[in-house]
Amino acid sequence: MALNLCDFEKKANTAVKAFWRTRDDAKRKQKESGKSDQGERAGVTGGKNMDGFANLVTDLVKANGLPNAQIHLKRAVLTLPGFFRPTKLWDMLVIDKGRLIAALEFKSHVGPSFGNNFNNRTEEAIGTSHDLWTAYRDGAFGQQERPFIGWLMVVEDAPGSRAPVRDSSPHFPVFPEFAGATYLQRYDILCKKLVKEQLYSAASVIATPRAAVADGAYGELSPMTGLRSFVASLAGHIAAESARS
């Protein structure tokens, strides 16, 4: 049976428009209430920024063989046991007949600050996956096939994310792929390495300017980290799990 990619490009456009719109709405509401957060944080604390991508994943699960799977999006039911810590709160879980089918993280990075936030996102992504796979190894989810672990990053396409970055490493040289790489390129490198090291089943980064609130436009950095690769990998995993049912 052919995989159903659920017209993902059109749905991604819708998700991107919603991403920027909900950020703007959150900042406006906080400003009107007189309790605005500083800088871009107001657009994050409003929540719901990445719901459009969660909707796409939901469609992929239902269309590729698991229409009755439990799709968890509410905070109260998004925790999984960890190995180095008791639990980890995920952004989305897919569970079917007591099996963990998929766990996903939806992240975003909007300027003007890209430096420290990039490092924080990187450390978080690596630590989260390592914790989960170690817990899986020790039977935290019972005896089951490996779940799909996904990481999707939306980055603002802006001068700050496209400018080459200089690094200081006085004792040993940085790996050549990082030399002069922009933050968008660094996210691309990160996603590739997360998958190559089997920390994630799929990892994707897309770039979108603020003006995309009008049309949902977005760009990709490479085929390996593009949205099609992420969607196809997830759809294939869902179809394989369906075949086991």
β-pairing verdict for 148-156 and 99-109: parallel
Q: Residue 43 pLDDT > 90, yes or no?
A: no
Interior angle at CA 124, CA 118 and CA 126, nearest 5: 105
Tell me the pLDDT tens digit for each residue of 103-162. 999 999 998 888 878 999 999 999 999 999 999 999 999 999 999 999 999 999 999 999
Is the per-residue pLDDT at 101 higher than 90? yes
Mean pLDDT, range 69-79, rounded to an integer: 96
208 φ/ψ angles, rounded to the nearest 5 degrees: -145, 135
Domains in the chain: boundaries: 8-244
Tokens 């779940």, residue?
147
Is a pLDDT exceeding 90 seen at residue 44? no
Claim: this prediction has a pTM higher than 0.85:
yes
**What is the longest distance spanned by two Cα atoms in the chain?**
55
The rounded distance, in Å, linking the Cα atoms of 206 and 108 is: 10
Residues in contact with 195: Cβ distance below 8 Å, sequence separation at least 6, in sequence order: 201, 202, 203, 224
* Cα gap 54→41, rounded to integer Å: 21
Question: What is residue 132's three-state secondary structure?
Answer: helix
Lowest mean pLDDT among 22-26, 51-55, 119-123, 211-215: 22-26
